[in-house]
Amino acid sequence: MANLKNFESYANEIIEKFQIPGVSIGIDKYAQPFYYQGFGYRNKEEKLAVTPDTVFGIASVTKSFTCVGIMQLQEAGKLSVHDKVIKYLPEFKTPDAEKTAQITIHHFMTNSSGLPPLPSLVYANKRSFDQDPSTKDYPGLDVAESEQGPIDTHEELMEFIAGLDFDLLGPPGIHFSYSNDAFSLLGAIIERVSGQKYEEYIKEHILIPAGMHHSTFDLSDLAEYDNITMSYAKKEEDGKTVVYQAPVWWDAPAMRAAGYLKSTVHDMLRYTEIYRKKGIVHGTRILSEESVKAMTYPYIETEPGSYYGYGLTVTPDFFGYKLIEHGGNLKAIASLMSIIPDLGITGMILTNLAAVPAGPLLRAALHDTIGQEIGASHMTFQKREITEEEIKRLVGTYMSNEGAKITIGLDEGDITFFSQGEYHPIKCIGENLFDVNVKDQQEIVRFIENANGEVDRIAYHYRQFPKIKE
C-alpha cells in the first residue's frame, strides 16, 4: 500500500479545521488496493474507528446508479434515452406545456431539461425533518412553516411540480442546471418500465451483481452489521462551531433516485470499475461498453473545463487525462467518486458531516498519487480587473427555491460575495465569470444576461437561479 505523506499532512489539517468526526478514503490502481485510510471515528463518542467497510451515505453519487439503470433498460430495448419523458410520465407537467413535451430522458440525465431548482426536496424530506431537531442547523436549508404536506411518491412529486408557478430556464438541451427533481423522476421511469420498485431494481441489477454487499437504501437490510457511521451536524454556539450527534438519517422515498443510497469505500471502489473497465466489475458485465461511453461523454458544459455526462461530471483534460466524477452532499454526508480510466485509478471519499471539503481531500490524494502538488490545479484562471460600473450590474440578491441565497455587493469599489452567513473571497476571471473560495472549495460563479442584456440570474454550485427584484 502506498504511503501518501503529503496528502495525510494536508488531510489532518483540513479534518481538524472543519471538525470532521470521520473520513473514509480509498484509491485503487487497476482494481488493486493502492491507498486506504480511515481518519477519525464513525462514532466519536464511543471511539469507534472508521474503516473502508464503514457504511456512510453517498448522497448524489446515487445519480450515477440511476443512469446505469436507465442505460440497462435501453440495452434491453425497453426504452431509449431519446424518448420523450411524457411517454412514460404523462402526469409530468410544468407551466410551459410546449417545452415540457420536448423534454427527453437524455435531458433529465444531463440536467439540461430547463427545470430550475425547485422546493420539492424539502417536502420530500418532510417526515425526516419532523423527527430531526438538527434540521434547523443544516446549511442553506429553509424549513419555514408551510401548508404543503410530505411528498412521498413520484405521483405526488409530479402533482406538486404541476402546481408550481415558475419559468423554465429555456428550451431543453440549452441550459445546464442541477435538478434533483429530474433524477427523482428518472427513478419513476425505471419503475414503470421495469415493473419493479426503483430500490429493488438497483439492488438486483447493480448492487448484487457488482458484489456491493454493504450497500442499501434501507439500513434495516444491514441489521446484523454494526460498522455503520453515526450522523453528525454542527451549530454555532457562543461564537464557536460545535459538532454533535444527530442520529436521524434523512429519507425521501419520492427522491431516492437522486441521492439516498448508503455504501462503503470498498463497495464503491467495486462500483467504479464499471467506468474504468468499460462495464465489467470483477468479471461480471453490468453495462455494455457502448453504454459506458455514452454515460461518460461530455454533453453539456457545467463550468469552464467541466461537463456533465449521464449522472457523472466529465473533465476532458485533468493534467492531460480524462477525469470522471460525481460528488454528493446531504445531512451528515459529503462524498466524491473519481475515476481516471487511462491511469487505472479509481477513488472514493465518504464523511459523516455535511458541507465539508470532501472533494478537495480526494483531489489532494489523487494529486499525490499522480505526482502533482497537493494544491495544484488543472485549470488556471487569470484575474481580470473589473470596473465599478460592471459590478453595479451584478449587485443584488439571488435566491434558489432549494434554499441557497447569495448576495452580491459593492464595497469601496470591490465586489463582495455573501452566502451562508459569511463573506467569501471572490475574483473576476472573465466576462461575467468569477472564482469564489467557499470553505476551502473553489466555486465558479457565472452571471447570466437576459435578452435585454440585463443580468437576471446566477449560475452557482451547478444551479441557475434568479436575481430577486427589489
> pLDDT digits over 23-47, tens only?
999 999 999 999 999 999 999 999 9
Looking at the structure, do residues 361 and 238 belong to the same domain, yes or no?
yes
Q: Which helix (H) or strand (E) holds 64?
A: helix 62-75
Choosing from 380, 396, 420, the residue where a domain stops is 380
Looking at the structure, do residues 398 and 365 belong to the same domain, yes or no?
no
Helix (H) and strand (E) counts for the chain? Answer: 16, 24
CATH number where 429 lies: 2.40.128.50
- The residue ranking higher by pLDDT, 305 or 1, is 305
The whole-number pLDDT of residue 233 equals: 98
Note the pTM of the prediction, 2 decimals: 0.97
Choosing from 355, 380, 405, the residue where a domain stops is 380
> Per-residue pLDDT for 277 more than 70?
yes
Q: Which residues of 349-378 are buried (b: 16+ CB within 10 A; e: fewer)?
A: bbbbbbbbbbbbbbbbbbbbbeebebeeeb
DSSP one-letter code for 309: -
Looking at the structure, do residues 168 and 316 belong to the same domain, yes or no?
yes
The whole-number pLDDT of residue 3 equals: 86
Looking at the structure, do residues 369 and 396 belong to the same domain, yes or no?
no
- Residue numbers of the domain that contains 364: 1-380
Ranges assigned E (strand) in 218-344: 232-237, 240-245, 262-263, 280-281, 284-285, 300-303, 306-308, 313-318, 321-330, 333-340
Q: What does the pLDDT average to over 278-282?
A: 97
Rg, the chain, Cα only: 21
CA distance 81 to 83: 6
* Grid cell in block for residue 148: 404543503
Looking at the structure, do residues 247 and 334 belong to the same domain, yes or no?
yes
Helix or strand or coil: residue 54? Answer: coil
The whole-number pLDDT of residue 144 equals: 60
Number of structural domains, the chain?
2
Q: Which amino acid is at 289?
A: E
> Per-residue pLDDT for 141 more than 90?
no
CA distance 337 to 329: 12
The whole-number pLDDT of residue 470 equals: 67
Percent of the chain whose pLDDT exceeds 90: 91
Q: What does the pLDDT average to over 373-391?
A: 91
The whole-number pLDDT of residue 106 equals: 99
Percent of the chain whose pLDDT exceeds 70: 99
Looking at the structure, do residues 30 and 153 belong to the same domain, yes or no?
yes
> Per-residue pLDDT for 142 more than 70?
no
Question: Which bin fits 235, alpha (ψ -120 to 50), beta or left (φ > 0)?
Answer: beta
**Alpha carbon distances (Å) from 65 to 38, 60, 109, 310, 447:** 25, 10, 11, 10, 32
User: Strands 300-303 and 306-308: what pairing?
Assistant: antiparallel
> Per-residue pLDDT for 146 more than 80?
no
Choosing from 359, 380, 401, the residue where a domain stops is 380
Looking at the structure, do residues 277 and 402 belong to the same domain, yes or no?
no
Looking at the structure, do residues 370 and 422 belong to the same domain, yes or no?
no
Looking at the structure, do residues 340 and 414 belong to the same domain, yes or no?
no
The whole-number pLDDT of residue 262 equals: 98
**Alpha carbon distances (Å) from 465 to 14, 172, 180, 452, 468:** 30, 16, 14, 18, 9
CA distance 467 to 395: 9
* Grid cell in block for residue 405: 441565497
Looking at the structure, do residues 362 and 396 belong to the same domain, yes or no?
no
* Grid cell in block for residue 206: 447493480
DSSP one-letter code for 228: B
Q: What angle do CA 84, 337, 196 make, to 5 degrees?
A: 45
Q: What is the dihedral of CA 257, 161, 196, 292, to 10 degrees?
A: -40
Looking at the structure, do residues 155 and 267 belong to the same domain, yes or no?
yes
CATH number where 67 lies: 3.40.710.10
Looking at the structure, do residues 159 and 250 belong to the same domain, yes or no?
yes
